[in-house]
Amino acid sequence: MSDVFDSQFLRRLEQLTLRVNGHFRSLGRGDRRSRRRGQSPEFSEHKHYHAGDDIRRIDWLAYARLGELFLKETSAEQDLNVHVLLDCSASMGVGKKFDHARQVTAALLYIALSSGDRVRLRLFTGGRLGRELGPLRGRRSYPSILDFLRSLEGSGQTGLGEMSRRFCARGAKPGLVVVISDLLDKAGYEEALKRLRYTRYEPLVIHTLSEEELDPQLSGDHDLKCVESGENLSLTLDRSAIRLYRQKVESYLADIQTFCRKHSIGYVLSRDDETLEKLFFHDLRLAGFFQ
């Protein structure tokens, strides 16, 4: 894994903060501003007093002026729960895809740690949740993330639907869920993403594909074998076949983008031949991943 980020790149990552549209309970106070009400001294607004409310929050000056009981509401600092689900299936081993995905994961978790967020990294393959790391908080945890990522290898089938069912059943803390995957699953990606979207989470998808998957440079007769299912396919690749393949890929990617847009799921295509600089400071920014 080519995981050595220079200090300048890390400092630039520290300027980014993951965007969250929902409001989630926090385990503690962090660096992120939330509209959730809490114990911060910064005043937000008033609400009417009801029996059982904390009388220590009554605004007696408002009572003296208006003759009614109001409570002071304050804004709170929130440390966001960030769950990263990394696809470790065999298909992620095509090209430089898995190495690229691990670098993306490392950079993304560094951003979350730098923002004071609470992070957890979970691996999945074959519909199962495998090894996990976390919860972690603070940049001092970053070396352990790199060590963990270095040890990984891809194997098995993808199983997005079963993975999402098991993840939601575990009752992980509400928050952002970033799925880093090639989404190459015969059963599709729709069920998995909808389950995450409409349970307690806000999903973001970093769709990782290899250069050769997007733009194959093959010709002639080939015997191909699926790295996940073991199925064999013999075919002849001429110009018309390659042109048809590229059209199918474009249609497939357009369908995913339409699906994610319809369900308010953040989506970015990440090619394994593109730089992290472009991905983080252009593509992900443009897609609204950062605030």
Same domain, 83 and 73: no
- List strands edge to edge, sheet with 128-136: 128-136, 118-125, 81-87, 175-181, 201-209, 266-271
Residue 283 has pLDDT above 90, yes or no: yes
Q: Which residues contact 60 (CB under 8 A, 6 or more apart)?
A: none
Same domain, 215 and 126: yes
Residue 121 lies in domain: 7-24+79-286
Q: Which residues contact 19 (CB under 8 A, 6 or more apart)?
A: 288, 289, 290, 291
Per residue in 262-273, pLDDT (tens digit) is 999 999 999 999
Identify residue 149 by its one-letter amino acid code.
L
Per residue in 163-200, pLDDT (tens digit) is 999 999 887 888 999 999 999 998 999 999 999 999 88
Any domain includes 1: no
Q: Which two tokens stand for residue 41?
A: 């001294």
CB-CB contact of 123 with 109 (8 Å): no
- Number of structural domains, the chain? 2
**pLDDT score recorded for residue 53:** 65
* Secondary structure (3-state) at 168: helix
Alpha carbons 232 and 239: distance in angstroms, whole number: 22
Q: Which residues contact 4 (CB under 8 A, 6 or more apart)?
A: none
Same domain, 87 and 224: yes
Per residue in 193-242, pLDDT (tens digit) is 999 999 889 999 999 999 988 988 877 777 777 766 677 878 888 888 88
Same domain, 225 and 103: yes
Per residue in 138-168, pLDDT (tens digit) is 989 999 999 999 988 877 788 899 999 999 9
Hey, how many other C-beta atoms are within 10 angstroms of the C-beta on 103? 20
Same domain, 147 and 222: yes
**pLDDT score recorded for residue 247:** 94
Same domain, 150 and 70: no
- Burial group, residue 101, by CB count within 10 angstroms (0-12, 13-18, 19+): buried
What's the pTM value of the predicted model, to 2 decimals? 0.80
Same domain, 65 and 177: no
Per residue in 115-131, pLDDT (tens digit) is 989 999 999 988 888 88
Per residue in 23-80, pLDDT (tens digit) is 554 444 455 544 444 444 455 456 666 666 667 778 888 778 778 787 775 544 456 8
Please compute, for residue 89, the number of CA atoms within 13 A of its CA located in the half-sphere on the CB side: 24
